[in-house]
Amino acid sequence: MTYSVYLSNYTVGESSYDTINDVCSPYGQKVVLIIGSHGYHQARKYLDEAIEKSSLRVAKTLYYGGECTYENAEKLKKEIAETDTDMIFAIGGGRVLDTGKFVAEQTGKPVFSFPTIASNCSACTSVSILYGTDGGFLRPEFLKEPPKHAFIHTKVLVEAPVKYLWAGLGDTYAKYYEASISSRGEALNHALTMGVNISSQCADGIIRHGAGALQANREKILNEDFEQAIQTIIVTTALVSILVTLDHSPDYNSGLAHAIYYTLTSMPDFDEEKHLHGEIVAYGILILLLVDGQREEFERVYAFNCATKLPHSLEELDLDAETMAPYLESITQMADIRHNPYVITLDMLKAAFQELETINKNKEKQK
The answer to whether residues 239 and 198 touch, using CB atoms and an 8 Å cutoff, is yes
CB hemisphere CA count around 97 (13 angstroms):
29
69 is in an annotated binding site: no
Instruction: Please measure the distance between the N-terminal and C-terminal CA atoms of the chain and give it in whole angstroms.
Output: 58
171 is in an annotated binding site: yes
17 is in an annotated binding site: no
Tally of helices (H runs) and strands (E runs) in the chain: 15, 8
The answer to whether residues 216 and 222 touch, using CB atoms and an 8 Å cutoff, is yes
- 57-63 β-sheet, strand order: 9-13, 149-153, 111-115, 87-92, 30-35, 57-63
172 is in an annotated binding site: no
125 is in an annotated binding site: yes
258 is in an annotated binding site: yes
208 is in an annotated binding site: no
Instruction: Give the H or E element holding residue 112.
Output: strand 111-115
131 is in an annotated binding site: yes
Residue 150's beta-bridge partner residues? Answer: 10, 113
DSSP state of 345: P
The answer to whether residues 202 and 176 touch, using CB atoms and an 8 Å cutoff, is yes
259 is in an annotated binding site: no
108 is in an annotated binding site: no
119 is in an annotated binding site: yes
Cα 90 from Cα 122, distance rounded (Å)? 11
117 is in an annotated binding site: yes
How many beta carbons lie within 10 A of that of residue 299, not counting itself? Answer: 12
98 is in an annotated binding site: yes
332 is in an annotated binding site: no
320 CA to centre of own chain: 27
Residue numbering of the annotated binding site: 94-98, 116-119, 125, 131, 171, 258, 277
Q: Which residues are annotated as a binding site for NAD(+)?
A: 94-98, 116-119, 125, 131
Binding-site positions for glycerol read 171, 258, 277
